[in-house]
Amino acid sequence: MNPRVVSVSLSNTHHFSKSTVAHITLLAGLGVQGDSHSGVTVQHRSRVVQDPTQPNLRQVHFIHAELFDELTTKGFTVGAGQLGENITTAGIDLLALPVDAELHLGTSAIVKITGLRNPCAQLDNFQPGLTVAVLDRGADGALIRKAGIMGVVLAGGSVSVGDAIRVVLPLGPQRALERV
């Protein structure tokens, strides 16, 4: 399957879920135009409390649509934007990407991947038990976080439903994603 965008979402307020829209505009160094998490410095409220001057490594949130199918088998009903993601993808194993991989979206937007989203209690506020449902254990016992990945915008542009996604892996040794 060709990697593609299946939904785009944003919210200009700090609500857990985001509204799906026809397209979003990514702004280099900032994030999604009009989204509450856009900015050079961290915008997530819990991170602002810790240190409002830290760089915003969570400008754009991606989730793979395949996660929604998995959650359905576990009794949950989750749709695009409801877990707070900006871009819902299909046909790409987001969790297997390394740090600094680039996602080229549409004709001009580029997002550099910074790390994993760390599932939080807000998931359980949305649907009880959801936090545990997006966590797993690998064969080695290591914790697997499935709630999506985060990135920063290197090149701006419009991103729409149906846009192709091209992955460019970083040169040299690759580092596995960790929570950011």
Q: Does 1 score more than 80 pLDDT?
A: no
Overall average pLDDT of the 44-61 stretch: 89
Closest CA to 119 of 169, 61, 65, 77: 61
What CATH superfamily is the domain 4-168? Answer: PK beta-barrel domain-like (2.40.33.20)
Banded model confidence at residue 54, pLDDT cuts 50, 70, 90: very high
Separation of CA 6 from chain center? 13
In this structure, the number of other CB atoms found within 10 A of the CB of residue 122 comes to: 15
The percentage of the chain sitting over the pLDDT mark of 90, rounded to a whole number, equals: 90
Q: Does 95 score more than 90 pLDDT?
A: yes
Q: Please give the pLDDT value at position 120.
A: 84
Overall average pLDDT of the 56-61 stretch: 97
Residues in CB range of 106: below 8 A, 6 or more apart? 5, 157, 158, 159, 160, 163, 164
Q: Does 64 score more than 80 pLDDT?
A: yes
The percentage of the chain sitting over the pLDDT mark of 70, rounded to a whole number, equals: 99
Q: Does 58 score more than 90 pLDDT?
A: yes
Closest CA to 30 of 63, 62, 57: 57
Q: How far apart are CA 159 and CA 175, in angstroms?
A: 27
Q: Does 125 score more than 80 pLDDT?
A: yes
Q: Does 128 score more than 90 pLDDT?
A: yes
Closest CA to 7 of 114, 115, 180, 165: 165
57-95 burial code (b ≥16 CB/10 A, e <16): bbbbbbbbbbbbeebeeeebebebbbbbbbbbbbebebb
Q: Does 121 score more than 90 pLDDT?
A: no
Give the model confidence (pLDDT) of 147-173 as tens digits.
999 999 999 999 999 999 999 999 999
Q: How far apart are CA 27 and CA 33, in angstroms?
A: 6
Residues in CB range of 54: below 8 A, 6 or more apart? 41, 42, 47
SS3 38: coil
Name the residue with higher pLDDT: 13 or 45. 13
Cβ atoms 152, 59 nearer than 8 A? yes
Give bridge partners of residue 10 from the DSSP assignment.
19
Give the model confidence (pLDDT) of 15-49 as tens digits.
899 999 999 999 999 999 999 999 999 998 788 88
